[in-house]
């Protein structure tokens, strides 16, 4: 037995497991798994904030931030959770005729809201723990300001680039049949998107609110947060559902049968 799955086998697994089976989960399961995913990504975000603080030169700082942030998706994929950005791959099941568009959109909405709850839970826990102080707080504020200050266009296109890599990380994790292989498959694309400065909607549900509650000047506005979240979310959908799910479906569509969608 090969210790990895070929791309056409990954496509089939995405259609059957990521799409069909996920959409069959009960509402409570989806909500709880979504909250966990939001929290897991927030764990990676807060760790990236912490390890970048005081590190020079720039290249080393962003590499370290990206490297440790990857723990978030590792927890999602290996421990089990439902992440909006990774679930953009459900588009393959829709294209294969296994699920309806409405089912997919409803699932995305539930997971997105649950991810937000999980992210804000970690923001609250970090605030109550009084861990994010001093230079770490300054780093957190700086990250939030830079993200909330992006134009819609900037955040949108960075969102596309981000979820192209995130969904490829999930794709590579599905290629591996063991835990070390999944970790390696996840690490490099996630490190790359964070170090490159791309925009992940769920990570920003931690980054920006954390900076907002720490910033006493009020310079990080709710409008800036909403602008970033809307643009990054739309970009993430294009990057994941479009550049990964749709493109790979077109390439490997011969793997998909087309029973009636549910």
pLDDT single digits (tens) 237-248? 999 999 999 999
Domain locations along the chain: 7-255
Q: Does domain 7-255 have CATH number 1.20.1080.10?
A: yes
The CB density around residue 27, as the number of other CB atoms within 10 Å, is 8
Q: What is the pLDDT of residue 261?
A: 57
Q: What is the pLDDT of residue 18?
A: 75
Average pLDDT, the chain: 94
Q: What is the pLDDT of residue 16?
A: 81
What phi, psi does 86 have (nearest 5°)? -65, -35
Residue 13's pLDDT band (boundaries 50, 70, 90)? confident
Q: What is the pLDDT of residue 21?
A: 75
* Percentage of residues of the chain with pLDDT beyond 90: 87
With contact defined as beta carbons under 8 Å apart, do 120 and 205 qualify?
yes
pLDDT single digits (tens) 52-87? 999 999 999 999 999 999 999 999 999 999 999 999
Burial of 153 (0-12, 13-18, 19+ CB in 10 A): exposed
DSSP 59-92: HHHHHHHHHHHTHHHHIIIIII---TTGGGGGHH
Q: What is the pLDDT of residue 262?
A: 56
Q: What is the pLDDT of residue 169?
A: 98
Helix (H, G, I), strand (E, B) or coil at 54: coil
Q: What is the pLDDT of residue 25?
A: 81
| 17: Cβ contacts below 8 Å, ≥ 6 apart | none
Residue 176, strand partner residues: 4
Rounded-to-integer distance, Cα 141 and Cα 216, Å: 10
Quick one: average pLDDT of 250-262?
A: 67
Question: In terms of Cα–Cα distance, which of 59, 76, 45, 75 is closest to 196?
Answer: 59
Q: What is the pLDDT of residue 177?
A: 92
Q: What is the pLDDT of residue 235?
A: 98
Q: What is the pLDDT of residue 255?
A: 58
Does pLDDT of 257 surpass 60?
Answer: no
Q: pTM value? A: 0.94
| 209: Cβ contacts below 8 Å, ≥ 6 apart | 119, 120, 123, 144, 225
Please confirm whether the linkage preceding 207 is cis (ω < 30° from 0).
Answer: no
Question: In terms of Cα–Cα distance, which of 104, 77, 107 is closest to 169?
Answer: 77
What phi, psi does 85 have (nearest 5°)? -65, -45
Does pLDDT of 2 surpass 70?
Answer: no
């Amino acid at each position: 037995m090969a210790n990895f799955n070929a791309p056409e086998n990954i496509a089939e697994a995405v259609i059957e497991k990521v799409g069909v089976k996920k959409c069959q989960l009960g509402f409570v399961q989806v909500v709880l798994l979504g909250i966990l995913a939001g929290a897991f990504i927030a764990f990676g975000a807060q760790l990236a904030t912490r390890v970048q603080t005081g590190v020079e030169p720039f290249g080393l700082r962003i590499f370290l931030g990206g490297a440790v942030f990857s723990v978030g998706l590792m927890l999602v994929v290996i421990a089990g959770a439902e992440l909006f950005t990774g679930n953009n791959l459900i588009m393959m099941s829709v294209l294969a005729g296994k699920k309806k568009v409405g089912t997919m959109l409803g699932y995305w909405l539930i997971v997105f809201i649950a991810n937000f709850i999980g992210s804000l839970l970690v923001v609250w826990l970090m605030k109550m723990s009084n861990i994010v102080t001093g230079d770490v707080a300054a780093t957190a504020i700086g990250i939030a300001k830079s993200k909330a200050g992006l134009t819609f266009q900037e955040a949108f296109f960075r969102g596309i680039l981000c979820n192209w890599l995130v969904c490829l990380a999930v794709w590579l994790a599905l290629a591996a049949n063991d835990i070390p292989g999944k970790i390696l498959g996840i690490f490099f694309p996630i490190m790359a998107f964070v170090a490159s400065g791309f925009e992940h909607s769920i990570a920003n549900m931690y980054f920006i609110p954390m900076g907002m509650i720490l910033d006493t000047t009020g310079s990080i506005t709710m409008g800036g947060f909403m602008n970033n979240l809307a643009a990054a979310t739309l970009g993430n959908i294009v990057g994941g559902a479009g550049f990964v799910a749709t493109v790979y479906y077109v390439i490997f569509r011969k793997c998909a049968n087309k029973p009636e969608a549910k």
